[in-house]
């Protein structure tokens, strides 16, 4: 008789509870919360006032797999530009607003599908009410965003420093400000560059609210350090069943954020689709440019909509055996390589033709079924 670990069962129940029971929120043509798929968000780094550059970047992000895009709106010109940008893109657009309530109103009037504000810095109660009323008239969600770096002084003093408890209290205070205006079409975002603090804060807030949560590690860093911190932080949070949308915040090309987010979700079993590329570490037996080959394969398969595992191995000695868990793979040799399917060698291929043969196999993958 198979025995089930009580702790594992409890964890599985917990994982399903948070995400499946958050409030469903409509953002443009997408839904989040209530067990809907976790959506990937990124942010443009162009000047939003530059409609052509911003639109081009969003379209590239769409192609890469971005589900929701956020744009900074620091000026009235940027708010007005949203109208033209929205005509040319196909995913929901979130306007990121700080300080000036008039920009939030203008952004919504010009097509923003959601706005991101911190009610504490948007102005007095009257100005907040004006923003909320505009959102209510158009049924536009408001994302309440709180970062550890901008935590109120009284909360820092209360908790003797910047803490997860303080971040959560700050966020819920801001949510209550909007609820008091009679509006609950809300998403919450609480972020910190401290991975453990961020994870703890999400565990705390998940038990105190049913609003969908946007998850990310803020100011995570460069491509290397940012990816590592984001993978650890998002992995901790998402594996607890917490999080309805995510962003991998990187100091770099937003396309890299989307690529990393897709891998994180796929690794956690939270998203299917796309070819998973696995490759062996290099060793003294390698007689091929494995590093270059693996990168070329990863780039090559981005536009192929298959849900399979592909292995790139460095030598013909262990390649077939190590690749047996993959659906298809290639292994390099001296001047030639092997094409492998389910651990079985299908044929030898000249090294110069490895990539083209592999791509051809992938493009006709479903023809064999």
Q: What is the pLDDT of residue 210?
A: 92
- Distance between start and end Cα atoms, the chain: 37
Q: What is the pLDDT of residue 6?
A: 42
Share of the chain above pLDDT 90, in %: 56
Residue 267 phi/psi, 5-degree rounding, is -65, -35
Average pLDDT in the chain: 88
**Which segments of the chain belong to CATH 3.30.413.10?**
276-368
Q: Which of 188-192, 218-222, 278-282, 331-335 has the highest mean pLDDT?
A: 188-192
104-108, 147-151, 250-254 — which is least confidently predicted?
A: 147-151
pLDDT beyond 50 at 7: no
> Residue-wise over 355-366: b if at least 16 C-beta within 10 A, else e?
bebbeebbeeee
Residue 131 phi/psi, 5-degree rounding, is -65, -45
Query: Burial level of 270, CB count in 10 A (0-12/13-18/19+)?
Result: middle
125-138 vs 164-179: helix crossing angle, rounded to 10: 70
Residue 316 banded pLDDT, cuts 50, 70, 90: low
CATH no. of 6-267: 3.20.20.20
Q: Does domain 276-368 have CATH number 3.40.190.10?
A: no
Mean pLDDT within 346-361: 88
Segments of the chain assigned E as strands = 25-27, 30-32, 39-43, 68-72, 93-96, 114-117, 142-147, 186-191, 213-215, 245-246, 276-279, 309-313, 328-332, 336-341, 344-350
**Which segments of the chain belong to CATH 3.20.20.20?**
6-267
The answer for residues whose C-beta is within 8 angstroms of residue 316's C-beta and 6 or more apart is 331, 332, 333, 337, 338
Model pLDDT for residues 89-135, shown as the tens digit of each residue: 999 999 999 889 999 999 999 999 999 988 777 778 899 999 999 99
pLDDT beyond 90 at 57: yes
Tokens representing 140? Answer: 């536009």
pTM: 0.85
Coil, helix or strand at residue 112:
coil
């Amino acid at each position: 008789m198979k025995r089930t670990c009580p702790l594992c069962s409890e964890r599985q129940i917990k994982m399903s509870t948070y995400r499946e029971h958050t409030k469903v929120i409509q953002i443009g043509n997408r839904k989040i919360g209530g067990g809907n798929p976790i959506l990937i968000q990124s942010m443009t780094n162009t000047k939003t006032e530059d409609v052509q550059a911003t639109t081009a970047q969003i379209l590239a992000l769409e192609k890469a797999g971005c589900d929701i895009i956020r744009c900074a709106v620091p000026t009235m010109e940027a708010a007005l530009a949203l109208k033209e940008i929205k005509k040319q893109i196909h995913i929901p657009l979130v306007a990121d607003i700080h300080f000036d309530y008039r920009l939030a109103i203008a952004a919504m009037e010009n097509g923003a599908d959601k706005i991101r504000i911190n009610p504490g810095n948007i102005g007095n109660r009257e100005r907040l009410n004006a923003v909320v009323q505009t959102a209510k008239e158009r049924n536009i969600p408001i994302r309440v965003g709180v970062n550890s770096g901008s935590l109120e002084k009284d909360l820092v003093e209360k908790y003797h420093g910047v803490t997860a408890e303080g971040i959560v209290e700050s966020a819920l205070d801001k949510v209550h400000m909007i609820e008091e205006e009679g509006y609950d079409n809300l998403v919450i975002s609480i972020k910190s560059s401290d991975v453990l603090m961020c994870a703890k804060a999400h565990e705390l807030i998940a038990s105190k609210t049913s609003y969908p949560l946007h998850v990310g590690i803020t100011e995570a860093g460069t491509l290397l350090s940012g990816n590592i911190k984001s993978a650890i932080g998002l992995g901790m949070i998402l594996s607890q069943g917490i999080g309805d949308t995510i962003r991998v915040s990187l100091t770099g090309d937003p396309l890299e954020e989307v690529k990393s987010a897709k891998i994180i979700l796929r690794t956690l079993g939270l998203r299917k689709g796309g070819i998973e590329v696995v490759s062996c570490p290099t060793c003294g037996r390698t007689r091929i440019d494995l590093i270059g080959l693996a990168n070329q394969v990863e780039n090559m398969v981005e536009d192929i909509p298959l849900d399979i595992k592909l292995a790139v191995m460095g030598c013909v000695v262990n390649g077939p055996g190590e690749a047996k868990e993959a659906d298809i793979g290639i292994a390099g040799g001296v001047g030639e390589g092997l094409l492998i399917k389910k651990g079985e060698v299908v044929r030898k291929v000249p090294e110069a033709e490895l990539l083209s043969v592999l791509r051809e196999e992938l493009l006709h993958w479903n023809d064999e079924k």
